[in-house]
Amino acid sequence: MKVAVAGVGAMGTRFALKLKQAGNDVTVVDGWDERVAALKQGGLRANLDGEEVAVDVPVYGQKEVPHDLHFDVVLFFTKSMQLEQMVKDMLPVFDDDTLALCLMNGIGHEKTLEKYLPKNRVFLGNTMWTAQMTRPDHVLLEDDGSCELRNVEPGEPQDRRAAELVKTLDEAGLKARLLDDPRYSVFRKGCVNGTLNTLCTLFECNLEEFGKTSRAHEMVVGVVKEFAAVGEKEGIHLDVDEAVKHVEDCYRVIGAHYPSMYQDLVKNKRRTEIDYINGYVARHGKKYGLATPLCDLLTAELHTKEELQNAQ
Ligand SMILES: NC(=O)C1=CN([C@@H]2O[C@H](COP(=O)(O)OP(=O)(O)OC[C@H]3O[C@@H](n4cnc5c(N)ncnc54)[C@H](OP(=O)(O)O)[C@@H]3O)[C@@H](O)[C@H]2O)C=CC1
Ligand SMILES: CC(C)(CO)C(=O)C(=O)O
């Protein structure tokens, strides 16, 4: 499959590397100049499950992608606030049959994609893999994970193409699964990020350390209930007990991981994706007349921490 990975930080590198190693034709695109220069010089370099690997792929800066390239799929892995600009910059390479796949954290990304692309070419999901930039030229890829996706609009040929995408990702060792409802999956993943990313960033700890604290369960249940209430208004009937279990399973499966939001703010002094996670629930709760006190407070606290850290 001909794949462009648009946004090749930590997670984009995991997907690009694995897809390339499995024999796909992979091109990478990024907007961070230092990263692009490092990729052009040394390729995709990572510690992948304890082994140092370096793989050469075509690399383009976000503003210099040749318009005559063709891809079967563009896989978006920017930060949420960078997605819209990346979609606009990648539009010239979209042919009539190019698919857009977004597995990023955050709720509502399909709306951004649908502003620029026909709905039947928008594919959505999420990933439970972990990844971390160690330097602009190197990524750490450890832990077990998975990913899941589906076309947002049911029908052919997109149902068939979703199955093809899942097969390609799965054959690359990315443990892919075809979803029934991608928006359900995004809300369910939102529960993981709205609890673990946000709270581990505030408390500056990893998942396992947070999970061992005495009030962790109470906080997780409270936040998940707010995601479920907003989801309900948007036609998503989240199973709260199952979503809480999904969150709490992370303490065991990827306990040593510091969530991507922690990496952004605590490690790199970067702005976070909070407005697309708890912030989404807080904003939409207001719109639907629902009280979401925990998400309101967590969003305000994260922004305050960004301000105190002078995050860029
Ligand atoms: N990492 C993880 O474990 C997981 C990540 N995800 C999701 O995947 C998507 C992509 O995230 P991820 O791969 O973690 O992103 P990264 O943290 O690797 O970075 C993405 C962008 O942030 C900027 N940036 C990051 N670090 C630095 C730095 N040290 N100095 C300067 N700029 C920096 C760059 O963009 P620019 O310079 O243009 O601002 C870069 O292209 C997100 O939606 C995330 O939530 C999902 C599951 C797990
Ligand atoms: C790996 C996981 C699930 C941890 O919350 C994540 O999505 C992240 O780090 O952003």
Q: Where do the domains of the chain lie, and which CATH numbers do they carry?
A: 2-180 (3.40.50.720), 183-309 (1.10.1040.10)
pLDDT at 237: 98
Does residue 189 carry a catalytic annotation?
Answer: yes
Ligand 2 lined by 195 (C-beta under 6 Å): no
Please tell me the predicted confidence (pLDDT) of residue 176. Answer: 98
> Which atom of ligand 2 lies nearest, measured to the CA of 254?
1
Sheet of 25-30, strand order? 59-61, 25-30, 2-6, 73-76, 99-102, 122-127, 147-151, 176-178
pTM value?
A: 0.97
Which of 197, 208, 253, 270 is the best mutation target for the ligand 2 pocket, counting ligand atoms within 8 Å of the beta carbon and taking the most? 197
Q: What is the pLDDT of residue 19?
A: 98
- Please check whether residue 59 is in contact with residue 41, taking contact to mean a CB–CB distance below 8 angstroms: no
Residue 128 in contact with ligand 2 by CB distance below 6 A: yes
Residue 79: CA atoms inside 13 Å, Cβ hemisphere, count? 16
Summarize pLDDT for 180-199 with one digit per residue, the tens.
999 999 999 999 999 999 99
Catalytic residue among 189, 233, 267, 305: 189
Between the alpha carbon of residue 193 and those of residues 3, 128, 186, 242, 246, the distances in Å are 27, 10, 10, 15, 11
Q: Which residues of the chain have pLDDT under 50?
A: none
- The pLDDT value recorded for residue 115 is 98
Alpha carbon of 217 to ligand 2 centroid (Å): 18
76 vs 153: CA distance, rounded Å: 18
DSSP, res 92: G
Helix (H, G, I), strand (E, B) or coil at 50: coil
CA 115 to mean position of chain CA atoms? 19
Q: How many helices (H) and strands (E) does the chain have?
A: 13, 12
**Contacts (Cβ under 8 Å, ≥6 apart) of 152:** 110, 114, 119, 122, 123, 124, 182, 183
**Structure ipTM:** 0.95
- With 0-12 / 13-18 / 19 or more C-beta atoms within 10 angstroms meaning exposed / middle / buried, residue 190 is buried
3-state secondary structure of 271: coil
Instruction: Quote the pLDDT of residue 188.
Output: 98
